[in-house]
Amino acid sequence: MVNNQNSVSSSPPQTVEGSPKEEKVEKKSGMGLIFFTLTLISIRVSGGIVGISYAAEHIGFLLTFILQTMYLPLGVLSCWMFLKAKDITGRASLSDLGIYSYGRTGIYLFNFLIALGNLGFIIIFLIVFGDVSANLLERLGVDRNSFLASRLCTQGFICIVLLYFVLKKEMHSLRYFGFMQICICMIFLIIFLIHSIVRDNPPTGKVDILKTRFNIRFFAVLPTLFTSHGFQSAYFTAFSSLKNKTNRNGILGDLFGRITLYIVFNITIFIAAALYGDEIEKNLLKSNATEEGILPALMEFAFVLIPTLTIPGIFFVGKEGALIIFDEITRKSYSKQNFKESQKHSKSAKVHDIENLENFGERRNQVDNIHQENNLDLHPNLKGIQELNNAKTINPKEYLNMKPGYYYLVTIICYLSVLILSVTVQDVTFFFGVVGSTLGSFSMWIGPGSFFIMAVHKEKYKLDSKLDKLTYACSYFYVIFGLMCLFGLNTCVILNII
Q: What is the pLDDT of residues 303-316, one digit of tens each?
A: 788 878 889 989 99
Question: How high is the pLDDT of residue 451?
Answer: 94
More confident call, 105 vs 409: 409
Question: Bridge partners of 31?
Answer: 242
SS3 label, residue 256: helix
pLDDT in tens, 170-225: 888 888 888 888 888 888 888 888 888 887 766 665 666 777 777 777 887 887 78
Q: ∠ CA(288), CA(440), CA(105), 5° rounding? A: 140
Percent of the chain with pLDDT over 90: 27
pLDDT at 416 over 60: yes
pLDDT in tens, 129-176: 888 888 888 888 888 889 988 989 999 999 999 999 999 998 888 888
pLDDT in tens, 106-125: 889 889 988 988 888 888 88
- Please state the rounded mean pLDDT for residues 270-289: 70
Range from 65-69, 91-95, 136-140, 356-360 that averages highest in pLDDT:
65-69
Question: How high is the pLDDT of residue 346?
Answer: 52
Question: How high is the pLDDT of residue 207?
Answer: 66
Residue type for position 110: F
Closest CA to 227 of 443, 486, 481: 443
Contact 49, 191 (CB under 8 A): no
Range from 77-81, 208-212, 242-246, 332-336 that averages highest in pLDDT:
77-81
More confident call, 79 vs 354: 79
Question: How high is the pLDDT of residue 412?
Answer: 96
Return d(Cα 320, Cα 400) in angstroms, integer: 10
pLDDT at 8 over 80: no
- Please state the rounded mean pLDDT for residues 444-451: 92
Question: How high is the pLDDT of residue 289?
Answer: 62
- Please state the rounded mean pLDDT for residues 44-73: 85
Return d(Cα 137, Cα 148) in angstroms, integer: 8
For 378, counting Cβ atoms within 10 Å of its Cβ (0-12 exposed, 13-18 middle, 19+ buried), the class is exposed
Percent of the chain with pLDDT over 70: 77
Question: How high is the pLDDT of residue 473?
Answer: 94
HSE-CB for 195 with a 13 A CA cutoff:
25
pLDDT in tens, 281-296: 655 666 666 677 788 8
Question: How high is the pLDDT of residue 11?
Answer: 44
pLDDT in tens, 342-382: 655 555 444 444 444 445 444 444 444 434 444 434 334 33
Closest CA to 97 of 448, 397, 333: 448
Question: How high is the pLDDT of residue 287?
Answer: 62
Return d(Cα 30, Cα 361) in angstroms, integer: 26
Question: How high is the pLDDT of residue 127?
Answer: 86
Return d(Cα 273, Cα 89) in angstroms, integer: 47
Instruction: Give the CA distances from residue 104 to residues 98, 289, 320, in Å, rounded to whole numbers and listed in that order.
Output: 8, 48, 17
Confidence of residue 387 (pLDDT cuts 50, 70, 90): very low
Confidence of residue 20 (pLDDT cuts 50, 70, 90): very low
Domains of the chain: 30-319+419-497 (1.20.1740.10)
Sign of torsion over alpha carbons 23, 28, 33, 36? negative
Question: How high is the pLDDT of residue 357?
Answer: 45
Question: How high is the pLDDT of residue 283?
Answer: 57
Length of the chain: 498
Contact 166, 411 (CB under 8 A): yes
Which string of b and e fits 122-156 if b means at least 16 CB within 10 Å?
bbbbbbbbbbbbbbbbeeeeeeeeeeebbbebbbb
462 CB-near residues (< 8 Å, 6+ apart): 355, 356
pLDDT at 390 over 50: no
More confident call, 229 vs 35: 35
Mean residue pLDDT across the chain: 79
SS3 label, residue 168: coil
Question: How high is the pLDDT of residue 284?
Answer: 64
- Write the DSSP symbol of residue 441: I
Neighbours of 211 (CB within 10 A): 12
pLDDT at 247 over 60: yes
